[in-house]
Amino acid sequence: MNAAIANAVVSAHGLRKAYKNKLALNDTSFQIEAGKIIGLIGPNGAGKTTALKAILGLIPFEGQLKVLGLDPRKDRDELMKDVCFIADVAVLPRWMKVKEAIDFVDGVHPRFDRAKCERFLANTQLKPNLRVREMSKGMIVQLHLALVMAIDAKLLVLDEPTLGLDILYRKQFYQRLLEDYFDEQKTIIVTTHQVEEIEHILTDVMFIRDGRIALTAQMDEVAERYTEVLVSGEAVEQARALKPIDERALPFGKTVLLFDGVPQAQLAPLGETRTPGLADLFVAIMKGTYA
């Protein structure tokens, strides 16, 4: 076994999960190492949530899976001491008070540091008896962050955490997570449909399609491997001869072509080159044009 697999926070081999006639995970294999922020990106029904549920020990499945060295099917109670899971920060019960939210997390998570949570909240307008229904969306984000950051978990799993929040609070959530929570001892897995908003904080990305991993790469590797070229006029046919994996038309007769593994020096004479955004790369790969 190589060192990367031995030290992996998550090590999955041949995961399979079927719901009725559909395979949600189809011989899925991947590794996640410590100190990474992984974006798990895929369309609805691609298997994202099923993969997260398997990692969290919430569903039965076939195949081999180790999370922090444990099997989530057999060792879930032990595993959850080092794991924190958040889905959708906008769904805290509206009747709940700040102090009740703290009491709840304190009661269910052994690694929760109540004093640390209260220190974080001391710098906000969140008072102990304030109810969720009386809070702005920004306050709800602050409460969630305080609860999360007070848990000394080795693995943090975020499934669409900022659903329903406007762009200002989504950015605030991820920025505080990066500044006040993440370090090289922790690992974060995040799924979201707002790919553009998280790509600057990711160290790695995994695209999932039809229950299989379609791409797994470090963000540095994405920048080296993929290039977009903005081409106009006669240069379009020259560019097409280099076999782009995708192309899309822009106004005023311009075309953007996406290349995999073609050196930038070879593409530069054809037009303006740039690293594609994750959203554009995702769309290209999900079209099935990625071999």
Is residue 9 pLDDT above 90, yes or no? yes
Predicted pLDDT at 3 = 45
Query: Residue 289: pLDDT above 50?
Result: no
Decide if pLDDT at 115 tops 80: yes
Contact, 260 vs 281, CB < 8 A? no
Q: Which residue has the higher pLDDT, 265 or 6?
A: 265
Residue 126 exposure: Cα atoms within 13 Å on the Cβ side = 31
When comparing pLDDT for 93 and 273, which is higher?
Answer: 273
Which stretches of the chain are DSSP H helices?
A: 3-6, 48-55, 76-79, 98-108, 114-121, 137-149, 167-180, 195-198, 219-225, 235-240, 264-267, 278-284
Q: What is the pTM of this model?
A: 0.85
Q: Which two tokens stand for residue 5?
A: 């697999």
More confident of the two residues 92 and 249: 249
At residue 90, the pLDDT reads 61
Q: Are 128 and 135 in contact (CB under 8 A)?
A: no
186-201 pLDDT tens trace: 999 998 877 888 888 9
**Structural domains in the chain, sorted by start:** 3-210 (3.40.50.300), 221-289 (3.30.70)
Confidence of residue 202 (pLDDT cuts 50, 70, 90): very high
Give the pairing type, strands 254-260 and 246-249: antiparallel
Q: What is the pLDDT of residue 88?
A: 67
Query: Please, which pLDDT band fits residue 85 given cuts at 50, 70 and 90?
Result: confident
Residue 5: predicted pLDDT: 53
Percent of the chain with pLDDT over 90: 51
Phi-psi domain of 63 (left: phi exceeds 0; alpha: psi -120 through 50; beta: other): left
88 or 38: which leads in pLDDT: 38
Residues in the chain: 291
**DSSP one-letter code for 233:** T
**Average pLDDT taken over every residue of the chain:** 88
